[in-house]
Chain A
Amino acid sequence: MSTRVSTGGRLLNKNSELAFTFNGQRLTGYEGDTLASALLANDRMLVGRSFKYHRPRGVVAAGAEEPNGLVNMGQAGRFEPNQRITTTELFEGLQAESQNHWPSLEFDVGAINSKLARFLPAGFYYKMFIHPRPFWKHIYEPFIRQSAGLGRAPKARDLDTYEHYYHFCDVLVIGGGVAGLQAARRAAKSGARVTVIEQTPHWGGRAVVDGGLVDGEPVDKFVEQIVSELETMENVTLRNRMMGAGVYDHGYVLGYEQLRDHRPDMPGPRHRLWRIRAGHIVTATGAIERPLSFAGNDVPGVMLAGALRDYLVNYGVAIGQRTVVVTNNDDAYRCAFALKEAGLDVPAIVDARMHETPPAALQRAQELGITVLEGHAIASVKGGKRVEGVALCKQEGTGDPLRDIACDAVAMSGGWSPVVHLWSHCGGKLVWDADQACFRPDVDKAPTNDSGQPFVTAAGAANGHFQLADILEDADAAARAAATAAGFTVRKSKGPQALREPEAPMAPVWLMPAQADIKLRSKAWLDYQNDVKVSDIQLAAQEGFESVEHAKRYTTLGMATDQGKLSNINGLAILSDALDRPIPQTGTTTFRPPYTPISMGAIGGEARGEVFQPLRRTPMHDWHAAHGADWEPVGHWRRPYAFVREGERVKDAVNREVLNTRRNLGLLDASTLGKIIVKGPDAPKFLDMMYTNMMSTLKPGKCRYGLMCSENGFLIDDGVVARIGDDTYLCHTTTGGAERIHQHMEEWLQTEWWDWKVYVANVTEQLAQVAVVGPNARKVLEKLGGMDLSKEALGFMEWADGTIGGFDARVYRISFSGELSYEVAVPASQGLAFWEALMAAGEEFGVMPYGTECLHIMRAEKGFIMIGDETDGTVIPQDLGLHWAISKKKEDFLGKRAQERSNMTDPKRWKLVGLETLSGAVIPDGAYAIGEGKNANGQRNVIGRVTSTYYSPTLECGIAMGLVLDGPDRMGEILEFPGTEGATFKARIVDQVFYDKDGEKQNV
Chain B
Amino acid sequence: MLILTCPVCGVRAEETEFHGGGEAHLKRFGPGSSEEDFQEYLFMRENPRGVHFERWRHAYGCGKWFHAARCTTTLEVFGTYPAQTLEPPKDLRAKISKKRPGWTWRSLT
Contacts and interface: CB of A to CB of B under 8 A. Distances in A.
Contacts of A743: 57
B48 interface: no
B84 A754 contact: yes
Contacts of B63: 746
Interface string B11-48: 00011000001000000111111010010001000000
A900 interface: yes
Contacts of A451: 76-77
A248 interface: yes
Contacts of B42: 711-712, 898
B55 A751 contact: yes
B94 interface: no
A897 B30 contact: yes
B93 interface: no
Given A448-B75, A750-B83, A752-B28, A252 B1 contact: yes
Given A451-B76, A712-B42, A751-B55, A250 B1 contact: yes
Contact of B65 (A248, A449, A750): A750
A450 B76 contact: yes
A251 B12 CA distance: 14
B33 A450 contact: no
B74 interface: yes
Contacts of A248: 1
A450 B2 contact: yes
Interface string B54-85: 01010000011100000100111100000110
Nearest to B29: A897
B74 A427 contact: yes
Interface residues of B, number: 29
Contacts of B30: 892, 896-897
A750 B57 CA distance: 10
Size range of the chain A interface in the assembly: 20 to 34
A450 B21 contact: no
Contacts of A897: 29-33, 38
A592 interface: no
A752 B99 CA distance: 30
A937 B3 CA distance: 49
A364 interface: no
A740 to B, nearest CB: 12
A452 B2 contact: no
Contacts of A891: 31
A249 interface: yes
Interface string A236-254: 0000000000001111100
A711 B38 CA distance: 10
A248 to B, nearest CB: 5
B83 A448 contact: no
A754 B82 CA distance: 11
B74 to A, nearest CB: 5
A746 B55 CA distance: 14
A743 B65 CA distance: 10
A896 B84 CA distance: 24
A892 B65 CA distance: 24
A262 interface: no
B31 A751 contact: no
A747 B21 CA distance: 10
A452 B96 CA distance: 12
A750 B30 CA distance: 18
Contacts of B35: 901
A223 B33 CA distance: 73
A388 B62 CA distance: 71
**A-B complex: 5 closest residue pairs judged by Cβ atoms:** A452-B76, A252-B1, A754-B84, A250-B3, A450-B77
Given A252-B1, A751-B55, 11 more contacts: A250-B3, A277-B14, A448-B76, A450-B3, A450-B76, A452-B71, A746-B65, A747-B21, A752-B28, A892-B31, A897-B38
Interface of A: 248-252, 277, 427, 448-452, 711-712, 743, 746-747, 750-752, 754, 891-892, 896-898, 900-901
22 contacts: A248-B1, A250-B3, A250-B14, A252-B1, A427-B75, A448-B75, A450-B75, A450-B76, A711-B42, A743-B57, A747-B65, A750-B64, A750-B65, A750-B83, A751-B65, A752-B28, A892-B30, A892-B31, A897-B30, A897-B31, A897-B38, A901-B35
